Copies of this chain bind each other. A is one copy, B any other.
C-alpha cells in the first residue's frame, strides 16, 4: 500500500483551486471554493475537506450549479444586505458581501446578510471566523435537505440545519461552535456508510420510524434532532429564519427541487453579525475582556471549548503540512487530469 503524502496548505489550495478553475469556475470563485475546502482539510475536519470536491464536481457535471455566476451584492442601505449567488456556490457570494456586512455591522451595531439562491456545501465556521477576524460576533445558519424528523414525528421535514456562532478573542482563536441540529451530521452517517460501520444509538430512525444503527437505513429514513424537543425547536427556527423568512427554499422544498440527496442542495443562508463595541459602548466595560473571563474559566476547569481540536489541527497543518492518504492524492490527480469527466456516471 502506498504511503500517505504531505502537502502544504498553500500547495493544496493551489491544486484544489486549479481543479475548480478547469471545471469552468471563474478564478475568484474557484479560489473561494478552494479556500473553504482546504480550510476544512487543514483543520482535520474531514467531512468538510477535500471529500467535498467530488460532490461539487458532480453538481457541476449535472449542470445544477452556475459555474460562472457572478455574485451580486444588493445594498439597500438598511441593516439587511443581500448577495445574490445567482445559482453559484455560496463561498464566492459570502466573500463578495463580507466587507459590506462588516461595515454595516460596525455602523449600525447589528446587521444581517442574506445569501440568495446558492449551492451550499461548506462548514459555517468559515463564515463566523471571517467575521470574528473583523472583531464581530455572529450567528450563521442555513437549511439543507429534509432528512430529519421533528421530535414526535416520523417523516423528514427538517434538514440537518447547521448553526454556527463566532465570538472574537483578543489573543486566541475565536470562540466558535458549528454543529448540525441533528444528532449527527449527514456527512458523518455517510462516512459510516462508506466505512461499513454501524451508527450509534439515537442517531436515526428507519423508513418505518424504528430506531436503527444501519447507515443505509438511516439515510433512507430520518435522522433525529439533537437534544430532543429543544433541538427540534431550534432546527425549526433555522427553517423559518434561513428559509421562509428569506423567501428561499426550506429543506423539504430543496429536496423536492432536486428530487434526491445525490446532489448538493440549493437554498439561501442567513448570517447575523453583532458589533460588541457598539453593544457595550454605554456600559463602560470591554466586552471582549469580559468574554475572556468566562472562556478562560471554562478551560480552567478542564472543560473543552468547541473547535479547540480543529484549531490544534490547523496549527499542526500550517507548521507540518497536511497528510493525505495515497488514495486521496490519487483522487486529486484524477480530478486534475479528468475534470468533470471524473465524476461521470
Binding site for B on A (CB under 8 A): 74, 78-80, 82, 107-112, 114, 116, 137, 149-155, 157, 165, 167, 175, 177, 179, 226-234, 236-237, 239-241, 243-248, 250, 252, 272, 274, 276, 278-288, 290-291, 293-295, 297-298, 301-304, 306
Contact = CB atoms under 8 A, between A and B. Distances in A.
A109 B137 contact: no
A306 B229 contact: yes
Chain A interface helix/strand/loop/mixed: mixed
Nearest to A232: B303
A280 B109 contact: no
B79 A285 contact: no
A334 to B, nearest CB: 37
Contact of A175 (B108, B226, B240): B240
- The interface centre, meaning the residue of A278, A285, A293, A298 with most chain B CB atoms within 10 A of its CB, is A298
A166 B301 CA distance: 35
A7 to B, nearest CB: 31
Contact of A153 (B167, B226, B288, B303): B303
Contact of A82 (B151, B154, B282, B284): B282
